[in-house]
Amino acid sequence: RFVASKEQIHAYLKASGEDGGRGDEEEEKEDDEEEAGSDQSEPPAKRGRLDGHGQDGESQEDAEEGEKAPTERKRARGQNKSRPCMKPNHYEKSRLCPSVTQGCADKCYFGPRCRFLHDISEYMATKPADLGHSCVLFETFGKCIYGVTCRFAKAHLGDGYQNIINTDLAKQWEGKSLVRNNLSKDLQHQLRKKKFSFKKADEYLRGLAKPQSNGGKGGKALGRSAEDQEVSNCTTPQEDLGDTPECPVLPEEEGDPKPAALQSPVPTEDEGGCPIKTAGLVTDEDIIKLRSCEKKKLEIQGKLYLAPLTTCGNLPFRRICKRFGADVTCGEMAVCTNLLQGQSSEWALLKRHHTEDIFGVQLEGAFPDTMTKCAELLNQTIDVDFVDINVGCPIDLVYKKGGGCALMTRTNKFEQIVRGMNLVLDVPLTVKIRTGVQEKINVAHKIIPKIREWGASMVTLHGRSREQRYTRVADWDYIAECAKIASPMPLFGNGDILSYEDANQAMQMGVSGIMIARQVTAFLLCFWALGALIKPWLFTEIKEQRHWDISSSERFDILKDFTNYGLEHWGSDTQGVEKTRKFLLEWLSFLCRYIPVGLLEHLPQKINERPPYYIGRDYLETLMASQNVDDWIKISEMLLGPVPTSFTFLPKHKANSYR
């Protein structure tokens, strides 16, 4: 009885929007006018289930368009490669100088050459209207560091635009680090000037270049010699003692990093040119290298693992998943070459919230030199529990450069990368792969024993090939076979888990004999963990073994929490608000695929089933089910106020796994 046509849904949203929308009649009229001309952003009509020939995601209109323009079919899946650049040239026409916001206007770095405003009254005259009367930063931490630039400044501005501080609340957070793994200016300078020392990586790479007397390839021989050298270093630690009395060139030569190095990874040099040494007794860990068997093990048996998600797997989203029961989290895929260049945007992907107790990062690269150096860099500068290699990325941009799935066909380079990274890391190394590159040619069962031999601690297998991307159904029978081959190395299975019943069915397949079935809570572990993106409360359903008929108001509260976390992370000024809006809209492009449990004819919802158009039990539920971009923007305006003029949005991916 909830099934409806696209026209009926539009009419319902228009009619109900006046009472159930934002409450502002003028803005509602504008939204209605935009909706009237937004049919072009509506996806094609949908059918019930996945067909074997990949034709079910298209309507008759698409079929007719396909005859006229054969290239139209390609645009209906995967990335929106031709989407326009949506990043504005400037978030504010008249921007206030940061020195004024920080209360030190007389110490502006640019002096008279500064092109920003220094007059607060002049800035306030052109500043956009505030978005609300309460600032999440002020209410949480007792102080908003954005001052007058905050879009919720009414909550903490006094006379003369003075920033009010709640001293009692601020003292509770004083000295506490909420987010770790930040990129310091000193480290960024060293990376850009190529002054960071990679002692272990350079030693390993020099072995790759040495010609082998037996005529074999350097990479494989190096892998054995590196392991032999590791054992010799453990049995004869006196070889490393010769460096300790001398003043080292860089702190990378001092053995394991100290906790202080996490805050300032590169000590400053004194007048004699020697780095500042930490005080305290020298322990065995400072001078004796750990053997591979002595490394910290990745013990995540029985825990729920949130996979790394490009774009949507940001820190605020991971906090949402942690609240619903995720035990293990992983940052977004980071490109190793960008990290080595000190790019701030890439290092932001490595940030870790203090609530993430088990956290890892995922690296992508195609060559052993950059991957090994990047692993050594992260090993000494950030705090993680494991490092994952992405050998399952299917997109062309990565594949054509030799990374992602391409490494499955370049076993020599693959071996050099795994051995090199395992040599320089003090934390476990994991690998994520697919079944293969071509659709009907599985090669994972041949590669997994080699990965175990090379030293990886765990493998994650996505039950599809590169050509399949996220179409078809994940091959769990093949995942079960690979789990037996991988033993005793843990193997995680991934694909098509959207309910606790799917998880239980996967666990009953005997994925592994060492309780790995507990970890088969299977989220798509490549770019999009669809199960968690569509319903982040999936973790709660699995732990409590129940279907949660979550209401639209509860789902809207989740979006509220996400926006609050986003304002904490990206800032409450105009730039932070628009960044939060952007990532919220990207997430809404997946959330709209959730079907409320109370509307389903049969349980559970399958990830590869596409429902018909339907009208929900209330206005908000119908609005959240809409796949119209303008409706997603309307939801963002309920949380973050009106969008800027000339605002446009097109999702990064079309979230289409039905074809």
Sign, CA torsion 577/578/581/587: negative
Residue bearing the bigger pLDDT, 480 or 449? 449
DSSP letter for 644, please: P
Q: What is the structure's pLDDT at 654? A: 60
CB 52 within 8 A of CB 63: no
Express each pLDDT in 154-163 by its tens digit: 999 998 889 9
Q: Helix 411-424 vs helix 199-209: angle between axes, to the nearest 10 degrees? A: 150
Q: Is 361 exposed, middle or buried (0-12, 13-18, 19+ CB in 10 A)?
A: buried
Q: What is the pLDDT of residues 27-40, one digit of tens each?
A: 444 444 444 444 44
pTM for this model (two decimals): 0.77
- Give the HSE-up count for residue 594: Cα atoms under 13 Å, Cβ half-sphere: 30
Q: What are the residue ranges spanned by the domains of the chain?
A: 100-180, 304-548, 571-658
Reported as a pLDDT band with limits 50, 70 and 90, residue 212 is low
**Listed range (42-46, 414-418, 425-429, 485-489) with the worst mean pLDDT:** 42-46
**Residue 358 phi, psi (nearest 5):** -120, 110
Distance of alpha carbon 522 from alpha carbon 529, whole angstroms: 9
Q: What letter would DSSP give residue 53?
A: T
Instruction: Please tell me which residue in 150, 312, 393, 405 is annotated as part of the active site.
Output: 393
More confident residue, 33 or 8: 8
Rounded Cα distance, 307 and 360, in Å:
10
Report phi then psi at 200, rounded to 5. Answer: -65, -45
97 is catalytic: no
Give me the pLDDT at residue 61, please: 43
Region 559-572 average pLDDT: 96
Instruction: With H, G, I as helix, E, B as strand and everything else as coil, classify residue 44.
Output: coil
Which pLDDT score, from 0 to 100, does residue 385 have?
94
Return the top range by mean pLDDT from 60-69, 405-414, 602-611. Answer: 405-414
List the structure tokens of 372.
């090994």
Q: Rounded to whole angstroms, how far apart are CA atoms 522 and 545?
A: 15
Q: How far apart are CA 436 and CA 430, in angstroms?
A: 18
Highest mean pLDDT among 49-63, 115-129, 420-434: 420-434
Lowest average pLDDT, out of 18-22, 87-91, 391-395, 432-436, goes to: 18-22
Res 542: pLDDT: 86
Q: Are strands 386-391 and 352-353 parallel, antiparallel or unpaired?
A: unpaired
Sheet of strand 328-335, all strands in order from the earlier edge strand to the far edge: 328-335, 358-364, 386-391, 429-434, 458-462, 491-494
In single-letter form, the type of residue at position 55 comes to Q
- Bond before 488 cis per omega within 30 degrees: yes
Q: Which one has a higher pLDDT value, 470 or 206?
A: 206
Rounded Cα gap, residues 55 and 49, in angstroms: 10
Which residue from 420, 479, 421, 415 is spatially nearest to 450, judged by alpha carbons? 415
Q: How confident is the model at residue 79 (pLDDT cuts 50, 70, 90)?
A: low
Collapse the DSSP code of 197 into the 3-class scheme (helix H, G, I; strand E, B; otherwise coil) and give the result: coil
Range picked from 301-310, 348-357, 461-470 for highest mean pLDDT = 348-357
Mention every residue, 6+ apart, whose C-beta is less than 8 A from residue 4.
Answer: 12, 613, 614, 615
Q: CB within 8 A of 310, min separation 6: which ones?
A: 332, 333, 527, 528
C-alpha span between 39 and 17 (Å, rounded): 18
**Cα–Cα distance for residue pair 132/124, rounded to 1 Å:** 16
> How does pLDDT run across 274-303, given as a tens digit for each residue?
444 455 566 665 556 556 556 677 877 767
Tokens of 94: 């008249």
**Tens-place pLDDT, residues 248-266:** 333 333 333 333 333 334 3
Average pLDDT of the residues in 596-606: 84
Residue 171: predicted pLDDT:
92
pLDDT higher than 50, residue 46: no
CB-neighbour burial class of residue 647 (10 A; exposed 0-12, middle 13-18, buried 19+): middle
**Of 179, 182, 569, 192, which is closest to residue 382 (Cα–Cα)?**
182
Three state DSSP letters for 417-478 = HHHHHHHHCCCCEEEEEECCCCCCCCCHHHHHHHHHHHCCCEEEEECCCCCCCCCCCCCHHH
Segment 218-230 shows an average pLDDT of 45
* DSSP 8-state secondary structure symbol assigned to residue 113: G
The rounded mean pLDDT for the chain is 77
The whole-number pLDDT of residue 72 equals: 45
Please report which confidence band the pLDDT of residue 593 belongs to, taking 50, 70 and 90 as the band edges.
Answer: confident
Q: Is the pLDDT of residue 588 over 50?
A: yes
* Mean pLDDT, range 528-554, rounded to an integer: 84
Question: Which residue has better confidence, 530 or 381?
Answer: 381
Q: What is the pLDDT of residues 108-153, one digit of tens each?
A: 888 888 888 888 999 999 898 999 999 999 999 999 999 999 999 9
Residue 386: beta bridge partners?
Answer: 360
CA distance 288 to 235: 9
pLDDT in tens, 619-643: 999 999 998 889 999 999 999 999 9
Average pLDDT of 470-476? 75
Quickly state the pLDDT bin for 377 (edges 50, 70, 90).
Answer: very high
User: Quick one: average pLDDT of 592-614?
Assistant: 82
Q: With a cut of 80, say whether residue 520 has pLDDT above it.
A: no
Q: How confident is the model at residue 193 (pLDDT cuts 50, 70, 90)?
A: very high
| Residue 60: C-alpha distances to residues 46, 47, 620 (Å) | 10, 11, 30
The pLDDT of residue 48 is 38
More confident site: 485 or 21: 485
Out of 197-211, 284-298, 370-384, give the one with best mean pLDDT: 370-384
pLDDT at position 200: 94
CATH 3.40.50.720 fits 304-548, yes or no: no
Q: Could you give the percent of the chain with pLDDT greater than 70?
A: 70
E runs forming strands in 504-583: none
